[in-house]
Amino acid sequence: MEIRLLQYFLAVTEELHFTKAAERLGISQPTLSQQIRLLEERLDTVLFHRNGKKIELTESGHILLTHVNRIFFELDQAKTVIQELKGLNRGHLRIGCSGNHLLYSPLLSFHKQHPNIHVSVFDLETEKTIERLLHSEFDLGIVFLPVEHSQIETIPLFKSKLSIVAANNHPLVQKDTVHVEDLANYPFFSLPKQFIIRQAIDSFFKKKGLQLQPIIELSDTHSLIRMAILNNGITILPKLYTTYEENLSIKIINMADPMPIMEVGAIYRKGMSFSSAIQAFLHHLVNFYAKPKSIKESF
246 and 152 in a common domain:
no
- Would you say residue 164 lies in a domain? yes
Q: Is the pLDDT of residue 63 over 60?
A: yes
Q: Are residues 257 and 166 in the same domain?
A: yes
Average pLDDT over residues 59-64: 92
Residue-wise pLDDT tens digits, 195-240: 889 999 999 999 999 989 999 999 888 899 999 999 999 999 998 8
Mean pLDDT value across residues 88-101: 80
- CATH of residue 273: 3.40.190.10
Query: Above pLDDT 90, what percent of the chain?
Result: 52
Contacts 24+ apart (CB under 8 A), 80-85: 80/272, 80/273, 80/274, 80/275, 80/278, 81/273, 83/275, 83/276, 83/277, 84/273, 84/275, 84/276
pLDDT of residue 298: 37
297 falls within a domain: no
pLDDT of 38 over the 70 cut: yes
Residue 207 sits in a domain of what CATH number?
3.40.190.290
Instruction: State the residue range of the domain holding 94.
Output: 82-156+265-291
Provide the domain count of the chain. 3
pLDDT over 70 for what percent of the chain?
92
Indicate whether 111 and 86 sit together in one domain. Answer: yes
- Domain termination site, one of 73, 97, 126: 73
Average pLDDT over every residue of 243-268: 86
Domain's final residue, options 15, 41, 73: 73
Residue 206 lies in a domain: yes
Residue scoring higher pLDDT (230 or 101):
230
pLDDT at residue 135 greater than cutoff 80:
yes
Report the pLDDT value the prediction gives residue 88, as an integer from 0 to 100.
Answer: 54
pLDDT band at 293 (very low <50, low <70, confident <90, very high): very low
pLDDT at 89 over 70: no
Choose among 52, 63, 64: nearest CA to 17. Answer: 52
pLDDT score of 76: 81
Residue 125 and residue 194 in contact, taking contact as beta carbons nearer than 8 Å: yes
- The whole-number pLDDT of residue 236 equals 95
**Model pLDDT, residue 174:** 85
- Report yes or no on 24 lying in a domain: yes
> Are 181 and 236 in the same domain?
yes
**Residue 29's domain is classified under what CATH number?**
1.10.10.10
